[in-house]
Amino acid sequence: MADVASFDWKSIGIVRTATALELPATPNGWSIGAETMDRNFTVFSEWSKYLPGLGARRARVQGGWARCEQKKGVYSWGWLDEIVHGMLKVGVTPWIELSYGNPAYSGGGDPTSSSPLPKEGEAKQAFLDWCKAVVGRYGPLGVSQWELWNEPVH
């Protein structure tokens, strides 16, 4: 196999990249994964400066019920507000996965990816209340895609 450096390469043009704000909004456009911030596996402020140049108009974000509601009935939106507002500011619309699992409630599961869905009682109602609160908070800002996983726990 020939060494790439040995070829006589000729320029045929320049590829111009576009930021998210420069691209038209399309319902089926490019999206990226921006997951795991709900579990502090990554921190939005540490990589958000790269987001506009990726050319994605949408990004998947895990909403993190357990991170939002660590005390029953009290939502801490600051971390998720930073993400949603930061993405919208650069032309990227988050689609939010409604992460279930919250150890603040008996039967509420845990914040891991293998948590069972709350099935009854206080935990189920609290999850439904949180879902309504998330949609009520971010829907008016233009977030219109929501996801709920239903994978079976083995």
pLDDT, tens only, 74-86: 999 999 999 999 9
**Long-range contacts of 81-87, Cβ-Cβ distance < 8 Å, separation of 24 or more:** 82/44, 82/45, 83/34, 83/37, 83/44, 84/138, 84/141, 84/143, 85/141, 86/44, 86/48, 86/51, 87/34, 87/48, 87/51, 87/59, 87/61
Which residues, including other chains, have CB under 8 Å from residue 109's CB and lie 6 or more apart?
100, 101, 102, 103, 115, 116, 117, 118, 123
Q: What does the pLDDT look like over 8-34, one tens digit per residue? A: 888 999 988 888 888 877 766 778 999
Which residues, including other chains, have CB under 8 Å from residue 88's CB and lie 6 or more apart?
94, 141, 142
User: What's residue 27's pLDDT?
Assistant: 67
Helix, strand, or coil here: 58? strand
Q: How far apart are CA 154 and CA 152, in angstroms?
A: 6
The pTM of this model reads: 0.84
Phi, psi of 150 (to 5 degrees): -135, 35
Q: What does the pLDDT look like over 88-111, one tens digit per residue? A: 999 999 999 998 889 999 989 888
- Given a contact cutoff of 8 angstroms between Cβ atoms, the answer to whether 107 and 119 are in contact is yes
